[in-house]
């Protein structure tokens, strides 16, 4: 149990910190404020939700071995989890398609994928996610605590008697097949293009070949997190649940959640532009910390030098004037330390 909680905490930390760093990088650097990174921000939003809500609630359920909050919060939690996971999967698919367009026609890419168009696609992603997650709140199937995933989810075993396998099929088909197809086709083309199958002599100079290779390989690794969930969903819908043990179900579902911790690494740290902004951010933090340390040290030395010269009724005017001159020297000395 302790190991499980520790792993969930680490995944949550990676998802939250990685997402926040992505937000800050795009906000602080105008060169990152482009249409491609709109998809990255959308992915960061879903990962942030998983890191701040889904993984911590699962950790609490693991500790208490049950759901300790109200049933209304359980339904809300299941809706948020379903919304974030569906949005994450769809955003991964459109991100792959966006990179395919960039590799295929980098010169005409800016005219084909403008920021307004990217925003519309991201809006469509979240609308689809809402349509996939909302029906149980409206009476089609239901949400309840699941002993398989140790979280609130669609009631597929125990809890509700109105489990509807048709909604389950609706959710699985709406969430996984299209994004999986986009990911496989897009990154297969990128890998083929980078390895020499395409005419790279024309426009490939604007694309980072090394990043394309790494992204293609790691995205297929991400498929290892997404595809098993799709397969398990079909097995459950076919009614052969005995083929899936609780341990297998937990591994598959947690693998899907772990994808939120992998995404910041995949789309942030492996991107040379994001890395450059991260480097500047870390240097800025280090320099600010060093400056504050010097400032506090100078202030401490001032406090140590000035008490002797405090104004009081026992000090004569000549001594007070002398004290003021010494205090002024101390301030000038501190300024010279801070600004050599």
pLDDT in tens, 48-59: 999 999 889 888
- Helix 2-28 to helix 35-49 angle (10° resolution) is 150
Q: Are 87 and 42 in contact (CB under 8 A)?
A: yes
Residues found in the chain: 340
Task: Give the pLDDT of residue 132.
Answer: 93
Structure token digits, residue 75: 């339904």
3-state DSSP call for residue 146?
strand
Distance CA 155, CA 165 (A): 10
- Where are the chain's structural domains? 2-270, 291-338
Task: Give the pLDDT of residue 217.
Answer: 66
Task: Give the pLDDT of residue 119.
Answer: 95
- Which residues neighbour 69 within 8 Å (Cβ) at sequence distance 6 or greater? 77
- Which residues neighbour 286 within 8 Å (Cβ) at sequence distance 6 or greater? none
Looking at the predicted structure, is the pLDDT value of residue 151 above 70? yes
Distance CA 302, CA 232 (A): 68
The pLDDT of 188-204, averaged and rounded, is 64
pLDDT in tens, 240-289: 666 667 777 777 777 778 888 888 877 777 777 888 888 888 888 777 76
CA distances from residue 336 to 152, 301, 323, 327 in whole angstroms, order as listed? 61, 13, 20, 14
8-state DSSP, 166: H
User: Of 279, 253, 275, whose CA–CA distance to 264 is shortest?
Assistant: 275
Structure token digits, residue 285: 């933090």
Superfamily of domain 2-270: Rhodopsin 7-helix transmembrane proteins (1.20.1070.10)
The pLDDT of 102-117, averaged and rounded, is 85
**Region class of 155: left (phi > 0), else alpha (psi between -120 and 50), else beta:** beta
- Which residues neighbour 80 within 8 Å (Cβ) at sequence distance 6 or greater? 49, 53, 54
> What phi and psi values does residue 143 have, to the nearest 5 degrees?
-115, 140
pLDDT in tens, 212-228: 666 666 666 777 777 78
Task: Give the pLDDT of residue 62.
Answer: 85
- Which residues neighbour 184 within 8 Å (Cβ) at sequence distance 6 or greater? 223
CA distances from residue 10 to 3, 13, 218 in whole angstroms, order as listed? 11, 5, 20
- Which residues neighbour 234 within 8 Å (Cβ) at sequence distance 6 or greater? 172
User: Of 217, 253, 269, whose CA–CA distance to 50 is shortest?
Assistant: 253
Looking at the predicted structure, is the pLDDT value of residue 316 above 50? no
Structure token digits, residue 189: 């083309």
User: Of 85, 53, 71, 249, whose CA–CA distance to 145 is shortest?
Assistant: 71
Distance CA 201, CA 205 (A): 8
8-state DSSP, 52: I
How much of the chain, in percent, has pLDDT values that exceed 70?
Answer: 71
Q: How confident is the model at residue 320 (pLDDT cuts 50, 70, 90)?
A: very low
Task: Give the pLDDT of residue 83.
Answer: 93
The pLDDT of 32-55, averaged and rounded, is 91
0.85 surpassed by pTM:
no
Distance CA 4, CA 19 (A): 22
């Amino acid at each position: 149990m302790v190991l499980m909680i520790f792993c969930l905490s680490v995944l949550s930390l990676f998802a939250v910190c990685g997402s926040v760093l992505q937000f800050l990088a795009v906000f602080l650097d105008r060169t990152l404020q482009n249409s491609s990174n709109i998809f990255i921000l959308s992915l960061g939003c879903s990962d942030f939700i998983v890191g701040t809500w889904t993984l911590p609630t699962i950790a609490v359920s693991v500790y208490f071995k049950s759901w300790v909050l109200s049933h209304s919060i359980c339904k809300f939690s299941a809706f948020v989890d379903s919304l974030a996971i569906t949005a994450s999967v769809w955003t991964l698919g459109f991100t792959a398609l966006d990179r395919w367009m960039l590799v295929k026609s980098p010169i005409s890419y800016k005219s084909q994928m403008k920021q307004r168009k990217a925003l519309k696609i991201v809006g469509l992603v979240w609308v689809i996610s809402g349509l996939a997650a909302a029906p149980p709140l409206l009476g089609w199937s239901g949400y309840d605590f699941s002993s398989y995933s140790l979280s609130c989810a669609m009631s597929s075993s125990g809890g509700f008697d109105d489990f509807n396998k048709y909604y389950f099929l609706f959710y699985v088909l709406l969430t996984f097949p299209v994004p999986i197809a986009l990911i496989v086709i897009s990154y297969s083309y990128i890998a083929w293009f980078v390895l020499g199958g395409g005419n790279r002599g024309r426009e490939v100079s604007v694309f980072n070949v090394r990043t394309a290779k790494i992204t293609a390989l790691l995205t297929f690794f991400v498929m290892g997190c997404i595809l098993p969930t799709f397969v398990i969903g079909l097995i459950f819908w076919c009614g052969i649940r005995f083929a899936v043990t609780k341990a297998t179900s937990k591994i598959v579902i947690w693998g899907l959640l772990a994808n939120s911790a992998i995404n910041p690494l995949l789309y942030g740290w492996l991107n040379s532009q994001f890395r450059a902004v991260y480097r500047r951010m870390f240097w800025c933090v280090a320099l600010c910390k060093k400056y504050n340390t010097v400032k506090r040290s100078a202030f401490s030395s001032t406090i140590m030098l000035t008490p002797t010269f405090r104004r009081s009724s026992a000090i004569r005017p000549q001594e007070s004037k002398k004290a003021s001159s010494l205090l002024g020297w101390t301030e000038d000395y501190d300024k010279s330390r801070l600004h050599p």
